[in-house]
Amino acid sequence: MMDKRILAQLEKITGRDGVLTSPEDLAVYSYDGTFEQGCPEVVVLPRSTDQVSQVVRLAAQAHIPVVSRGMGSGLAGGSVPSLGGIVLAMTRMNRMLEIDQANATAHVEAGIVTADLQTAVEKLGLFYPPDPSSIRESTIGGNIACNAGGPRCLKYGVTGNYVLGLTVVLADGRVLQAGNQCIKDVVGYDLLALFTGSEGTLGVITEALLRLTAKPKFVRTALVEFPSLEDASRTVNAILTAGILPAALELMDETAIACTEEAMQMGLPLDVEAILIIENDGSDEDFILSEMEAIAGICKEQGARQVKVAKDELERSNLWEARRSVTAALARRTPNKLGEDITVPRSAIPEAVRRLKAISFKYGLPVVIFGHAGDGNLHPNILFDMRDPAQWTKVGLMVEEEFTTALELGGTLSGEHGVGTLKRPYMQQALGPLSIEMQKRIKQALDPLNILNPGKVFPD
């Protein structure tokens, strides 16, 4: 239970409707998009950077943990308040502060929903490319804190590539402004890169200045059917090494297809081992079409059964909606799923897919494979029922083998979800002691009291 005086002070900062303490309110801030849980002692919904600063200052004085979060759709346990304390839910700081068309930048508050930001800038012919599948249920602040990816990152880069400036409340409550509207800036260390992907452990991101680009005028999306998963995973490299860089190159295996089809009823093929979704965009329609033809040719050479190009925007958006629904649709099969996002060098994709399926075979639990194959970022999802202790034990062993596979192939534990609590145990293996020591010293310098999202990312 939180001290009454602290609660009174919090209410003074945000007003009464910004401080939640009922057991019901606390219970619904105890989870994210995983099965991790931890109950906060109070939830604060600030409306300005100044309020965040006051809350953090108060927390620092009283040594209370502060866990910042957006919509809680994270997939690594990063925003779960595992040690209690204050949850700072940024969802009410959701204003679009300015769209600067001349400089192609957007200045937003951290709680804006990423899809809302995209809609707003696209009305002006501008484009914010990062597109995590949680685009409608995640915030920019959360995207930056986890350096979110998404299908289009193959061509356009990840969230961090679009961060030009940040307003960050530091662990003592001071407000840091980093970055500016310039695309180039090499003065001093790159603090933007430091806070991007820091998962709320180094500061609370309250505002962001984002780089925009011109919205591509034309886009074509193809659904390619492969009777063999092996052929599909080999095709990814065949396309990329042919000098073509699609906007997105996504892979779905047969279970991913089946679950999604069950949820969406959109006519996905149920008699193939895999599909690729390939998108091409740009400002020259003829060029896109000719590249699309080249892609189709390569796919057929590699064993594709059929290449279907979406005939209109509706068909295209349905296809992407289906792709974005995969992760949730898998839960139609079992009560629980553990979705990882290991990333390997793209030449190793076929081998990674083979080994992941071997892990599934060895333990007898399904491992569904889908993901952003084009950038080597795969989402092996283990389907299981947590109520069965035997399955739960297997899951632990399987995850370990998945990570070992990624590392052996020269890859990494996480491409876009982050570490949170779920990948902490594997950090030593992934990074080695020197790297971890350096990073812990950075954490120590910025948050000496360890109040910002404690218990996350690094092993104790």
Partner 1 sequence: MPALNLTSQPTQPSVEQYLNCIRCGLCLAVCPTYREDLSEITSPRGRVALARKGLQGELELTSNLFEQMYACFDCLACNAICPVGIRPADLALDMRTLEEHIRPKTWKKALFRGIFPKPERLEMGTWPLRLYENLGIRRLVYALGLGKLLPRRVRDLEAMLPRLPQRPIRQVLPEISPAKKEPLHRVGFFLGCLQSLMFAEESAAAVRVLVRNGCTVITPKETVCCGMPALGFGKMEQVQEQARHNLLLFEKADVEFIITDCATCGSTLKDYGKILAGDPLWATRAAAFSKKVRDISEFLMSIPLEKPMGRLEVRVTYHDPCHLRRGQGIWKQPRLLLQMIDGIDYVELPEADWCCGLAGTQIITHYESSLKTLKRKTDNLAATRASYVVSGCPACQMQLNVGVRRAGLDVRVDHPIALLDRAYRNGNSSSSISETTEVVPSTKREK
> What are the residues binding partner 1 (CB under 8 A)?
20, 22-25, 27-29, 31-35, 43, 45, 71-73, 89, 91-92, 94, 111, 113, 115, 134, 136-138, 260, 263-264, 325, 327-329, 331-332, 334-337
| Residue 131: closest CA among 323, 327, 307 | 323
Letter for the amino acid at 210?
L
Quote the least distance from Cβ 350 to partner 1, whole Å.
28
Pick between residue 89 and residue 232 the one whose CB is nearest to partner 1: 89
Which residue, 11 or 137, has its beta carbon nearer to partner 1?
A: 137
Distances (CA, A) of 212 to 186, 280, 348, 358, 399: 20, 19, 32, 42, 37
Q: Which is nearer to partner 1, 121 or 446 (CB)?
A: 121
Which residue lies nearer to partner 1 by CB, 28 or 445?
A: 28
Distance CA 314, CA 113 (A): 22
The least distance separating partner 1 from the CB of residue 17, rounded to whole angstroms, comes to: 9
Closest contact distance (angstroms) between CB of 272 and partner 1 is 21
DSSP 45-88: --SSHHHHHHHHHHHHHHT--EEEESSS--SSSTTS-TT-SEEE
DSSP strand pairing (66-69 vs 367-372): unpaired
Smaller CB separation from partner 1, 194 or 328: 328
Helix/strand/coil for 262: helix
CB of 371 to partner 1, least distance (A): 16
- Give CA–CA dist 327/159, Å, rounded: 20
d(CA 88, CA 74): 15
112 vs 240, which CB is nearer to partner 1? 112
Nearest residue (CB) to partner 1, 138 versus 280: 138
Q: State how far the Cα of 45 lies from the Cα of 60, in Å rounded to an integer.
A: 18
Residue 326 Cβ, how far from partner 1 at the closest point, in Å? 8
Please name every residue paired with 213 in a beta bridge, in sequence order, or none if there are none. Answer: 127
How far is 215 from 220, CA to CA, in rounded Å? 14
Q: Is the dihedral of CA 125, 130, 131, 134 positive or negative?
A: negative
Type of residue found at 235: T
Please give the structure tokens belonging to residue 307: 């290449």
Q: What element of type H or E holds 222?
A: strand 218-226
Give yes or no for a contact between 430 and 459, defined as CB atoms under 8 angstroms apart. no
- CB 137 → partner 1: shortest distance, Å? 4
Please identify, using beta-carbon distances, which residue of 24 and 460 lies nearer to partner 1.
24
Nearer to partner 1 by Cβ, of 89 and 446: the residue is 89
Q: How far is the CB of 394 from partner 1 (least distance, A)?
A: 19
The least CB distance from residue 381 to partner 1, in Å, is 10
We find the least distance from the C-beta atom of residue 34 to partner 1, in angstroms, to be 8
Of 90 and 192, the one with the shorter C-beta distance to partner 1 is 90
Q: How far is the CB of 107 from partner 1 (least distance, A)?
A: 20
Closest listed residue to residue 306, CA positions, set 220, 221, 233, 226: 226
Residue 340 to residues 75, 327, 414, 459, Cα–Cα distance (Å) = 8, 11, 7, 19
Look at phi and psi of residue 199 and say left if phi exceeds 0, alpha if psi is from -120 to 50, else beta: left
